[in-house]
Amino acid sequence: MDAYNARMPDTGKGLLKDLFTLAFLIVVVVIPIRVFIISPFVVDGESMHPTFENLDYLIVDEAVYDFEAPARGEVIVFRYPGNPSIFYIKRIIGLPGETVSINRGVVTITTADGQDVTLAEPYIVNEDATYTKNVTLGTGEYFVMGDNRPNSSDSRVWGVLPRKNIIGRVDLRLLPINESKFFPGAASYAASSSTTSPPSL
Protein backbone atom coordinates (compact mmCIF):
# COMPACT_ATOMS: atom_id res chain seq x y z
CA MET A 1 0.00 0.00 0.00
CA ASP A 2 2.88 2.35 0.88
CA ALA A 3 4.19 1.91 -2.64
CA TYR A 4 1.22 3.91 -3.91
CA ASN A 5 1.56 6.76 -1.40
CA ALA A 6 3.64 9.77 -2.54
CA ARG A 7 5.78 11.38 0.13
CA MET A 8 6.06 15.13 0.55
CA PRO A 9 9.63 16.36 -0.12
CA ASP A 10 11.62 17.96 2.65
CA THR A 11 11.47 21.49 1.26
CA GLY A 12 13.57 22.90 4.08
CA LYS A 13 16.56 20.71 3.28
CA GLY A 14 16.12 21.28 -0.45
CA LEU A 15 16.10 25.07 -0.04
CA LEU A 16 19.15 24.94 2.21
CA LYS A 17 20.99 22.82 -0.35
CA ASP A 18 20.06 25.26 -3.17
CA LEU A 19 21.26 28.24 -1.14
CA PHE A 20 24.52 26.48 -0.33
CA THR A 21 25.05 25.63 -4.02
CA LEU A 22 24.34 29.24 -5.04
CA ALA A 23 26.76 30.58 -2.43
CA PHE A 24 29.40 28.10 -3.56
CA LEU A 25 29.04 29.17 -7.20
CA ILE A 26 29.27 32.84 -6.24
CA VAL A 27 32.47 32.26 -4.28
CA VAL A 28 34.13 29.87 -6.73
CA VAL A 29 32.94 31.25 -10.08
CA VAL A 30 31.35 34.69 -9.98
CA ILE A 31 33.75 36.49 -7.63
CA PRO A 32 36.95 35.33 -9.38
CA ILE A 33 35.47 36.30 -12.76
CA ARG A 34 34.51 39.71 -11.40
CA VAL A 35 37.87 40.33 -9.71
CA PHE A 36 40.33 38.81 -12.17
CA ILE A 37 38.66 38.59 -15.59
CA ILE A 38 35.98 41.24 -16.18
CA SER A 39 35.00 44.50 -14.56
CA PRO A 40 32.34 47.14 -15.19
CA PHE A 41 33.25 50.64 -16.32
CA VAL A 42 31.00 53.68 -16.62
CA VAL A 43 32.08 56.31 -19.16
CA ASP A 44 32.60 59.71 -17.59
CA GLY A 45 32.85 62.53 -20.10
CA GLU A 46 32.77 63.02 -23.87
CA SER A 47 36.34 62.15 -24.89
CA MET A 48 35.23 59.01 -26.76
CA HIS A 49 32.21 60.55 -28.52
CA PRO A 50 30.69 59.44 -30.88
CA THR A 51 31.79 55.83 -30.14
CA PHE A 52 30.90 56.03 -26.46
CA GLU A 53 28.77 58.58 -24.64
CA ASN A 54 28.73 59.81 -21.07
CA LEU A 55 27.31 57.17 -18.67
CA ASP A 56 27.60 54.26 -21.13
CA TYR A 57 27.97 51.07 -19.06
CA LEU A 58 30.79 48.87 -20.39
CA ILE A 59 32.34 45.52 -19.55
CA VAL A 60 36.14 45.38 -19.62
CA ASP A 61 38.05 42.14 -20.27
CA GLU A 62 41.00 42.20 -17.88
CA ALA A 63 42.45 38.83 -18.93
CA VAL A 64 42.72 39.25 -22.70
CA TYR A 65 46.17 40.84 -22.64
CA ASP A 66 47.56 37.95 -20.64
CA PHE A 67 47.26 35.94 -23.85
CA GLU A 68 47.76 38.50 -26.63
CA ALA A 69 49.32 41.92 -27.11
CA PRO A 70 47.19 45.07 -27.25
CA ALA A 71 46.38 45.90 -30.89
CA ARG A 72 45.89 49.11 -32.81
CA GLY A 73 42.28 50.26 -32.89
CA GLU A 74 41.25 48.53 -29.67
CA VAL A 75 39.50 50.62 -27.02
CA ILE A 76 41.07 50.13 -23.61
CA VAL A 77 40.63 51.23 -20.01
CA PHE A 78 43.81 52.14 -18.16
CA ARG A 79 45.23 53.96 -15.18
CA TYR A 80 46.22 57.53 -16.05
CA PRO A 81 50.04 57.68 -15.77
CA GLY A 82 49.89 61.07 -14.04
CA ASN A 83 47.60 59.72 -11.30
CA PRO A 84 47.05 55.93 -11.22
CA SER A 85 43.91 56.34 -9.11
CA ILE A 86 42.15 57.85 -12.16
CA PHE A 87 40.83 55.59 -14.94
CA TYR A 88 40.74 56.65 -18.60
CA ILE A 89 39.19 55.13 -21.71
CA LYS A 90 40.94 55.71 -25.06
CA ARG A 91 41.79 54.01 -28.35
CA ILE A 92 45.21 52.47 -29.09
CA ILE A 93 46.82 54.28 -32.03
CA GLY A 94 50.55 53.56 -31.79
CA LEU A 95 52.31 50.34 -30.75
CA PRO A 96 55.77 49.70 -29.24
CA GLY A 97 58.61 50.43 -31.66
CA GLU A 98 56.47 52.64 -33.93
CA THR A 99 56.57 56.35 -34.69
CA VAL A 100 53.29 58.27 -34.58
CA SER A 101 53.07 61.41 -36.72
CA ILE A 102 50.12 63.80 -36.54
CA ASN A 103 49.69 66.53 -39.14
CA ARG A 104 46.53 68.67 -39.09
CA GLY A 105 44.53 65.82 -37.59
CA VAL A 106 45.85 63.15 -39.98
CA VAL A 107 47.66 60.30 -38.24
CA THR A 108 50.46 58.38 -39.95
CA ILE A 109 52.22 55.42 -38.37
CA THR A 110 55.74 54.33 -39.23
CA THR A 111 55.71 50.68 -38.19
CA ALA A 112 58.63 48.84 -36.60
CA ASP A 113 59.55 47.38 -40.01
CA GLY A 114 59.59 50.82 -41.68
CA GLN A 115 56.22 50.89 -43.45
CA ASP A 116 54.18 54.10 -43.42
CA VAL A 117 50.46 53.69 -42.72
CA THR A 118 48.03 56.61 -42.85
CA LEU A 119 45.08 55.75 -40.64
CA ALA A 120 41.54 56.00 -41.99
CA GLU A 121 39.54 56.90 -38.89
CA PRO A 122 35.80 57.16 -39.63
CA TYR A 123 34.99 57.02 -35.91
CA ILE A 124 36.58 60.33 -34.91
CA VAL A 125 35.39 63.88 -34.45
CA ASN A 126 37.63 65.68 -36.95
CA GLU A 127 40.18 68.17 -35.73
CA ASP A 128 41.95 70.59 -38.04
CA ALA A 129 45.00 70.92 -35.82
CA THR A 130 47.73 73.32 -36.88
CA TYR A 131 50.51 71.42 -35.15
CA THR A 132 52.71 68.52 -36.16
CA LYS A 133 53.64 65.92 -33.59
CA ASN A 134 56.07 63.03 -33.91
CA VAL A 135 56.49 60.48 -31.13
CA THR A 136 58.66 57.35 -31.26
CA LEU A 137 57.50 54.64 -28.87
CA GLY A 138 59.83 52.46 -26.87
CA THR A 139 59.40 48.93 -25.56
CA GLY A 140 56.11 48.56 -23.70
CA GLU A 141 54.88 52.03 -24.72
CA TYR A 142 51.57 52.85 -26.43
CA PHE A 143 50.11 55.99 -27.97
CA VAL A 144 46.41 56.40 -27.19
CA MET A 145 43.83 58.98 -28.23
CA GLY A 146 40.17 59.69 -27.67
CA ASP A 147 37.79 59.60 -30.64
CA ASN A 148 36.60 63.11 -29.78
CA ARG A 149 39.96 64.56 -30.80
CA PRO A 150 39.21 68.25 -30.03
CA ASN A 151 38.10 67.33 -26.50
CA SER A 152 40.34 64.54 -25.26
CA SER A 153 43.25 64.53 -22.84
CA ASP A 154 45.43 61.74 -24.20
CA SER A 155 48.95 60.86 -25.37
CA ARG A 156 49.12 64.10 -27.34
CA VAL A 157 48.96 65.95 -24.02
CA TRP A 158 50.50 63.78 -21.31
CA GLY A 159 52.71 61.40 -23.29
CA VAL A 160 52.97 57.68 -23.86
CA LEU A 161 51.02 55.01 -22.00
CA PRO A 162 53.11 52.29 -20.27
CA ARG A 163 51.89 48.72 -20.80
CA LYS A 164 51.70 48.19 -17.04
CA ASN A 165 48.93 50.81 -16.77
CA ILE A 166 46.54 49.00 -19.12
CA ILE A 167 43.68 47.31 -17.29
CA GLY A 168 41.87 45.68 -20.21
CA ARG A 169 39.92 45.91 -23.44
CA VAL A 170 36.32 47.09 -23.78
CA ASP A 171 34.47 43.99 -25.02
CA LEU A 172 30.82 44.80 -24.32
CA ARG A 173 28.46 47.75 -23.96
CA LEU A 174 25.50 46.86 -21.73
CA LEU A 175 23.80 50.24 -21.44
CA PRO A 176 22.00 51.93 -23.00
CA ILE A 177 20.08 48.80 -24.01
CA ASN A 178 19.40 49.98 -27.56
CA GLU A 179 23.16 50.40 -28.08
CA SER A 180 24.29 47.17 -26.40
CA LYS A 181 26.73 45.07 -28.42
CA PHE A 182 29.98 43.13 -28.28
CA PHE A 183 33.21 44.92 -29.28
CA PRO A 184 31.42 48.27 -29.70
CA GLY A 185 34.61 50.20 -30.44
CA ALA A 186 36.17 47.74 -32.90
CA ALA A 187 38.20 49.30 -35.72
CA SER A 188 40.32 47.92 -38.54
CA TYR A 189 43.00 49.64 -40.59
CA ALA A 190 43.78 46.83 -43.04
CA ALA A 191 43.05 48.91 -46.12
CA SER A 192 44.68 52.14 -45.03
CA SER A 193 48.33 51.50 -45.85
CA SER A 194 50.00 54.32 -47.74
CA THR A 195 52.97 52.20 -48.73
CA THR A 196 53.24 51.73 -52.50
CA SER A 197 54.75 48.77 -54.32
CA PRO A 198 57.93 49.36 -56.33
CA PRO A 199 57.42 49.68 -60.10
CA SER A 200 57.78 46.55 -62.19
CA LEU A 201 60.92 46.22 -64.22
Q: pLDDT for 116-125, tens place per residue?
A: 999 999 898 8
Q: What is the CATH number of the domain that holds 91?
A: 2.10.109.10
Give residue 97's domain range.
Answer: 40-182
pLDDT greater at residue 121 or residue 199: 121
Does residue 192 belong to any structural domain of this protein? Answer: no
Look at strands 87-94 and 141-145 and give their pairing.
antiparallel
Query: Which residues on adjacent β-strands are paired with residue 61?
Result: 38, 169
Q: Would residue 181 show up in a list of annotated catalytic residues for this protein? A: no
Instruction: Name the phi and psi angles at 117, rounded to 5.
Output: -130, 115
Tell me how crowded residue 98 is: count the other CB atoms within 10 A of its CB: 22
Answer yes or no: is pLDDT of 192 > 60: no
CA distances from 84 to 78, 147, 148, 149, 165 (A): 9, 22, 22, 23, 8
Partners of residue 166 on adjacent β-strands: 78
Does residue 199 surpass a pLDDT of 70? no
Question: Is 77 within the bounds of a domain?
Answer: yes
Q: How many structural domains is the chain composed of?
A: 1
The pLDDT of residue 41: 85
- Cβ-based neighbour number of residue 171 at 10 Å: 18
Examine the residue annotation and report whether 152 is marked as an active-site residue of this protein: no
Catalytic, out of 90, 101, 152, 155: 90
In a domain, 27, yes or no: no
CA distances from 63 to 18, 35, 38, 43, 199 (A): 31, 10, 7, 20, 45
Q: What is the pTM of this model?
A: 0.76
Catalytic residue among 17, 39, 47, 194: 47
User: Within 13 A of 134's CA, how many CA atoms are on the CB side?
Assistant: 2
In a domain, 162, yes or no: yes
How confident is the model over 28-82, as pLDDT tens digits? 444 444 444 567 888 888 999 999 999 999 999 998 998 999 999 999 999 999 9
> Does the residue 15 lie in any domain?
no
Going by the DSSP 8-state scheme, the letter that residue 50 receives in this structure is: T
DSSP string, 65-107: GGTS---TT-EEEEE-TT-TTSEEEEEEEE-TT-EEEEETTEE
